[in-house]
């Protein structure tokens, strides 16, 4: 099934999308990657969803990526004697380690790590930022605050600490168990929450042991500050705008989104824009104009993928939400403004032979009548470098490794094919590429394609050859004499 767009769509699975027919319909509507949110559902439920996606993959004969999104540590206040209380602007309020139920002037905050990092002037946000308090004085077991924005505070509401780096690991005990479960299950990507530093990513990578690619969620100011180091340590990035918009001024998020996308593209690593993209479609079959503009702007920015959360996991119109994203992407990508912006954002990177090969492939494809760029890849690097170029013709990624094909489903413009056997000679590579281009409807026998590969074959990081080839196998065999 050929996609008529390059940006990818990530759809979250949940109660509204837990049966075979719905998951298949989501794929047919445009979903390329399915996200399992480890914050919700049991391991048995996630195992069943994973199996259904793999069944759809087999029936549709096309690789599908599965992303397991780890919950991360959750910081919450304790309980109140009345279940809730009102706090008013200007009043004093204390957080401490005393487990006694809270009152209008105090509540337990059972996280000594927070007190260890706080300092006078630090902010504490409660209930997704609806309540804001400023620290006046603090110690190892308390924080005396003044309320800057009041309201109702109730049992176990989430607490955010935006302006300090917390001495907390990104992986809780639950996350470690979920990570091992997901890797044994066979997911393709692991999304890591609560990332504050590159060391958080390395810890997850050590635990994954190569069984899944690591995608870092940027949802804290500390992660924005340390972004370049985090990007270098990661295989991909998610711009998690919901939490960013809580811990940072909301007007700061759009420029951060644009900057992070540009840095990801320069690095040749996939980036997802996520959170509240079509939020109204949880209850409505039609999105708002602002939501459509939000999705479109992320695509104009050059993101690899856009993501649906509750819209597809728990909403009333999951298939409509995917179809809407698909339609927006197709419309944007046919706009000349989009094409101009993609070209303007391209940064020449010539650090090696592979960079030169993929740049040449794009230039040849765009100046002659070439129908597709076909790249043979073991690790996926060649396909990622090709996607970084954002060519105006389709990218066909061919690999003998199903895991590589699945992971590349998150990358801009890549159409992934698993070759039956490892290719040992370049003529066989060209023939396989021509067959893939024809079978998927990208080209006919009368057309030409660009083929990139590495010699010796099946060795990661050896892209060193480029050929303009006919899609007619008779011409291939007539001109090659291996």
- 225-232 own/partner pairs: CB under 8 Å, 24+ apart: 226/196, 226/197, 226/198, 227/260, 227/263, 228/263, 229/197, 229/198, 230/195, 230/197, 230/198, 230/200, 230/201, 231/263, 231/264, 231/267, 231/269, 232/198, 232/267
Q: How far apart are CA 230 and CA 240, in angstroms?
A: 14
Catalytic-role residue among 5, 94, 275, 390: 275
Catalytic-role residue among 47, 76, 134, 392: 76
The helix/strand/coil state of 466 is: strand
Q: How far apart are CA 117 and CA 24, in angstroms?
A: 47
- Cβ neighbours of 474 (radius 10 Å): 9
In the sheet that holds 463-470, the strands lie side by side as: 414-418, 395-399, 370-376, 448-454, 463-470
Q: How far apart are CA 70 and CA 10, in angstroms?
A: 16
Which pair of tokens denotes residue 227?
């972004």
Catalytic-role residue among 5, 24, 35, 49: 35
Phi, psi of 217 (to 5 degrees): -90, 125
Q: How far apart are CA 460 and CA 382, in angstroms?
A: 9
Output the CA torsion 385→390→394→397 (10° steps): 10
Is 132 noted as a catalytic residue in this protein?
A: no
Q: Are strands 106-108 and 305-308 parallel, antiparallel or unpaired?
A: unpaired
Name the region of 365 (left: φ>0; alpha: ψ -120 to 50; beta: rest).
Answer: alpha
Which pair of tokens denotes residue 359?
């740049």
Interacting residues of 177 by C-beta distance below 8 A, sequence separation 6+:
none
Is 217 noted as a catalytic residue in this protein?
A: yes
Cis? peptide before 456, omega within 30° of 0: yes
Is 35 noted as a catalytic residue in this protein?
A: yes
Q: How far apart are CA 308 and CA 34, in angstroms?
A: 10
Is 346 noted as a catalytic residue in this protein?
A: no
Q: How far apart are CA 66 and CA 171, in angstroms?
A: 20
Which pair of tokens denotes residue 47?
């195992």
Catalytic-role residue among 24, 49, 217, 220: 217
Tokens 């060391």 sit at which residue?
199
Q: How far apart are CA 72 and CA 190, in angstroms?
A: 12
Q: How far apart are CA 428 and CA 434, in angstroms?
A: 10
Active site residues: 35, 76, 217, 275
């Amino acid at each position: 099934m050929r996609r008529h767009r390059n940006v990818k769509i990530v759809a979250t699975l949940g109660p509204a999308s837990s049966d075979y027919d719905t998951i298949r319909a989501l794929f047919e509507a445009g979903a390329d990657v399915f996200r399992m949110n480890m914050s919700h559902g049991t391991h048995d439920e996630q195992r069943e969803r994973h199996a259904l996606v793999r069944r759809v993959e087999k029936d549709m004969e096309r690789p599908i990526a599965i992303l397991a999104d780890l919950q991360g540590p959750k910081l919450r206040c304790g309980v109140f004697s009345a279940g809730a209380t009102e706090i008013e602007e200007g009043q004093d309020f204390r957080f401490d380690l005393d487990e006694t139920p809270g009152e209008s002037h105090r509540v337990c905050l059972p996280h000594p790590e927070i007190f260890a990092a706080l300092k006078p002037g630090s902010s504490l946000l409660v209930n997704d930022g609806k309540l804001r308090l400023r620290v006046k004085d603090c110690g190892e077991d308390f924080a005396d605050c003044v309320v800057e924005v009041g309201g109702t505070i109730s049992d176990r509401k989430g607490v955010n600490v935006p302006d300090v780096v917390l001495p907390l690991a990104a992986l809780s005990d639950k996350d470690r168990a979920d990570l091992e479960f997901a890797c044994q299950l066979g997911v393709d990507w692991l999304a890591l929450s609560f990332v504050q530093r590159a060391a958080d990513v390395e810890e997850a990578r050590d635990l994954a042991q190569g069984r899944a690619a690591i995608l870092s969620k940027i949802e804290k100011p500390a992660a924005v500050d340390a972004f370049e180091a985090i990007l270098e340590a990661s295989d991909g990035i998610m711009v998690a705008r919901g939490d960013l918009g809580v811990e940072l001024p909301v007007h700061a998020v759009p420029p951060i989104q644009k900057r992070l996308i540009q840095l990801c593209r320069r690095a040749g690593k996939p980036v997802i824009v996520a959170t509240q993209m079509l939020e109204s479609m949880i209850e409505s079959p039609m999105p708002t104009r602002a939501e459509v503009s939000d999705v479109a702007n992320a695509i104009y920015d050059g993101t690899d993928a856009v993501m649906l959360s509750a819209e597809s996991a728990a909403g009333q119109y999951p298939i409509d939400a995917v179809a809407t994203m698909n339609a927006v992407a197709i419309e944007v990508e046919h706009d000349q403004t989009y094409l101009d912006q993609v070209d303007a954002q391209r940064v020449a990177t010539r650090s090696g032979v592979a960079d030169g090969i993929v740049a040449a492939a794009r230039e040849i494809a765009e100046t002659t009548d070439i129908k597709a760029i076909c790249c043979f890849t073991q690790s996926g690097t060649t396909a990622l470098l090709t996607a970084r170029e954002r060519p105006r013709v389709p990218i066909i990624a061919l690999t003998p490794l199903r895991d590589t094909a699945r992971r590349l489903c998150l990358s801009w413009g890549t159409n992934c094919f698993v070759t039956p056997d490892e290719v040992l000679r370049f003529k066989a590579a060209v023939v396989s590429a021509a067959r893939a281009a024809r079978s998927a409807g990208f080209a006919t026998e009368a057309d030409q394609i660009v083929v990139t590969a590495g010699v010796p074959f099946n060795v990661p990081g050896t892209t060193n050859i480029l050929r303009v080839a006919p899609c007619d196998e008779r011409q291939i065999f007539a001109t090659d004499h291996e």
